[in-house]
């Protein structure tokens, strides 16, 4: 498959999920900008998940 | 080369599942939902067999749905049970149960022949003891 098509699909996915990711960051007490990493083609979505998984959530009741 | 590409995809999927596991754990949800990402692998495989144009978006359908659902459902670990901090009838004894004798538990029946130092100290009436 042509790489341009893969990048196009990744960007469409980023457009679809960037708003809920911003909302998740906001609920977790983080800044909204890590959600924009999802726009990096191919590796952006896993990196966003990695950021959310390993950062401390300030709004979490137990500070996890 | 296709084998290496497939292996890289599998590693990326495993890392993403691990990340989703941690995120769901933090939110207080069942982390096994992270394995729903494996469905996207099955969809991608089926669409590639059928040579459908959906194969382009197949790996992204399930994660997108999961992310939208996760953003809007309630997160149990963010909720405190109502009235947890308010005074209730069990509260005076709750913090003392661990450091006094078992007879200090108000739900136990204490033999009146034996002294109940904890109850006397707290000024609680003892069952069976005439005041």
**Using a CB-CB distance cutoff of 8 angstroms, which residues of chain B are in contact with residue A62?**
77
Residue A23 reports pLDDT greater than 80: yes
**Cβ <8 Å between A61 and B77:** yes
- Chain B's closest residue to A15, CA to CA, is B64
Threshold 0.90, pTM exceeds:
no
Least confident window among A31-35, B71-75, B92-96: B92-96
**Using a CB-CB distance cutoff of 8 angstroms, which residues of chain A are in contact with residue B55?**
1
- Give the residue-averaged pLDDT of A24-36: 90
**Of B111, B114, B25, nearest in space to A28 by CA:** B25
Residue B99 reports pLDDT greater than 80: no
Average pLDDT over chain A, rounded to whole? 87
The string of pLDDT tens digits covering residues B36-60 is 988 888 888 888 888 877 777 878 8
Least confident window among A30-39, B22-31, B87-96, B111-120: B87-96
The string of pLDDT tens digits covering residues B75-95 is 888 876 555 556 655 555 555
**Which of the residues B17, B26, B74 would you substitute to probe the A interface, choosing the one with the greatest number of A C-beta atoms within 10 Å?**
B26
Q: Which of A23, A24, A49 sits opposite B16 (nearest CB)?
A: A49
């Amino acid at each position: 498959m042509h790489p341009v098509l893969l990048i196009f699909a990744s960007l469409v996915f980023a457009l679809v999920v960037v708003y809920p990711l911003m909302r998740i960051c906001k609920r977790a007490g983080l800044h909204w900008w890590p959600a924009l990493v999802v726009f990096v083609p191919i590796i952006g979505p896993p990196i966003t998940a990695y950021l959310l998984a390993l950062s401390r959530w300030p709004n979490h009741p137990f500070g996890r | 080369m296709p084998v290496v590409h497939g292996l890289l995809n599998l590693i990326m999927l495993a890392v993403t599942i691990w990340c989703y596991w941690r995120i769901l754990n933090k939110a207080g949800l069942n982390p096994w939902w992270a394995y729903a990402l494996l469905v996207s692998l099955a969809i991608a495989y089926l669409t590639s067999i059928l040579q459908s144009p959906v194969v382009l978006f197949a790996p992204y359908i399930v994660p997108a749905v999961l992310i939208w659902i996760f953003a809007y459902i309630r997160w149990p670990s963010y909720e405190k049970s109502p009235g947890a901090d308010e005074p209730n009838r069990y509260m005076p004894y709750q913090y003392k149960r661990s450091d006094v004798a078992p007879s200090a538990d108000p739900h136990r029946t204490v033999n009146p022949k034996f002294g109940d130092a904890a109850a006397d100290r707290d000024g609680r009436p003892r069952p069976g003891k005439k005041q």
